[in-house]
């Protein structure tokens, strides 16, 4: 007589196998969530950096348009624009400083066109700086800007430097030891009006 060995085949998964699978899937989902957070943070940082570059180009275009002032800017001209809206634009040029102060107050002849004569180059430079400062504050409230003009090979070159603080998300704790950090960034553009 022949006896057949009965093999027991089990169906389904054991509880341990299911728990291991759940742990593996959970770790994968947490990794995907972290990558999504980094993606969103980097998108915001990229947006701010692109806006800073556009604003710097806008100021450079204003400097090109008002070439009468900027191409003959006094040697060592420095313009500082602070992070707060209004009354934060200052200059080392004694003729530009009052025009900036006027542009910060009441509407100027450059804005209203009410004068018999058109704006002078200095009035236009002051007006442009104040208008740009207000636009920059609306776009990036915490930015500080410095403009330094100096002669280079019989031409004037102005360096626009914009600094701001951005919140970054780190990929891992080895980068800075914390999950998020504020980092100071800087953008420079050299303009030859």
Q: Are 171 and 101 in contact (CB under 8 A)?
A: no
Element (H, E) at 153: none
2 vs 77, which has greater pLDDT? Answer: 77
Confidence of residue 154 (pLDDT cuts 50, 70, 90): confident
Residue 14 above 80 pLDDT?
yes
Q: Where are the alpha helices (DSSP H) in 66-183?
A: 67-70, 96-104, 109-112, 121-139
Mean per-residue pLDDT, 102-131: 76
- Burial annotation 88-102 (CB, 10 A radius, 16+ → b, else e): bbebebeebbebbeb
In the chain, what are the domain boundaries? Answer: 15-191
Residue range 26-54, pLDDT digits in tens: 999 999 998 998 888 788 888 889 999 99
Whether pTM exceeds 0.85: no
Q: Are 35 and 168 in contact (CB under 8 A)?
A: no
Percentage of the chain lying above the pLDDT 90 cut: 32
Residue 80, beta-bridge partner list: 90, 146
């Amino acid at each position: 007589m022949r006896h057949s060995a009965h093999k027991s085949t089990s169906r389904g998964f054991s509880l341990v196998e299911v728990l291991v699978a759940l742990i593996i899937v959970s770790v994968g989902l947490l990794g995907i969530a972290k990558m999504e957070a980094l993606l969103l943070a980097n998108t915001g940082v990229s947006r701010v950096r692109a806006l800073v570059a556009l604003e710097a180009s806008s100021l450079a275009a204003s400097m090109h348009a008002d070439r009468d002032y900027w191409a003959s800017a006094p040697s060592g001209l420095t313009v500082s624009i602070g992070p707060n809206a209004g009354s934060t634009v200052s200059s080392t040029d004694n003729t530009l400083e009052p025009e900036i102060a006027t542009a910060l107050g009441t509407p100027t002849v450059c804005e209203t066109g009410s004068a018999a004569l058109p704006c002078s180059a200095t009035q236009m430079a002051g007006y442009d700086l104040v208008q740009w400062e207000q636009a920059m504050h609306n776009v990036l409230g915490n930015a500080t800007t410095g403009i330094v003009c100096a002669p280079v090979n019989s031409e004037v070159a102005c360096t626009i430097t914009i600094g701001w603080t951005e919140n970054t998300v780190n990929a891992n704790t080895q980068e800075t030891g914390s999950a998020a950090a504020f980092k100071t960034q800087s953008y420079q553009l050299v303009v030859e009006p």
